[in-house]
Amino acid sequence: MTALCYNWNMNLLKKLFRWLPALFIFGCSWYLSSQETIEHMPGFWNADKLVHCICFAGLTFWVAFGVGTKMPAKWRIILPVIIVSLYGVLDEFHQSFTPGRETSPLDWCADTIGAIIGSLVFFFLCKWISDRKEKSSKK
């Protein structure tokens, strides 16, 4: 019984550690969306959309890492996108209460596009690593 509890606790701890990068990025994102202004943004037209896309792609990559690789392929892609896209909606709502900030459906669209990109990058990176391991084990 003690070994069973130990294994359960270790598995839970491993899952928690897998989620730490995503949780850290969620926290940073929430903090930044609470600021009235963000300095050092690029100065070209709609630069904030590109920033949203890139940041949410990175966030989704780490959410996909947290989700893991033990479910069917389509869910390894779709679930992180759903989680991060819903967070994007929540983040835009949160910004509506921050002085100097405004809610933008286009920001959420950029968030979701970034989420799709991040999820696909993680999926194909895992596939590439798996294929390389398989090839090296056949030699």
pLDDT score, position 40:
73
Residues in the chain: 139
pLDDT of residue 139: 66
Q: What is the pLDDT along the chain (139 residues), one digit of tens a residue?
A: 565 555 656 788 888 899 999 999 999 999 999 988 877 777 777 888 999 999 999 999 999 999 998 889 999 999 999 999 999 999 999 999 999 888 899 999 999 999 999 999 999 999 999 999 888 887 6
Residue 2: per-residue pLDDT: 62
Contact between 52 and 85 (Cβ < 8 Å):
no
Full DSSP string of 59-112: HHHHHHHHH-SSS-HHHHHHHHHHHHHHHHHHHHHHHTTSTT----HHHHHHHH
Distance CA 57, CA 118 (A): 4
Distance from C-alpha of 22 to C-alpha of 119, rounded to nearest angstrom? 13
Look at residue 59 in the predicted model and tell me its pLDDT. Answer: 97
CB of 53 closer than 8 Å to CB of 117 = yes
pLDDT value, residue 39: 77
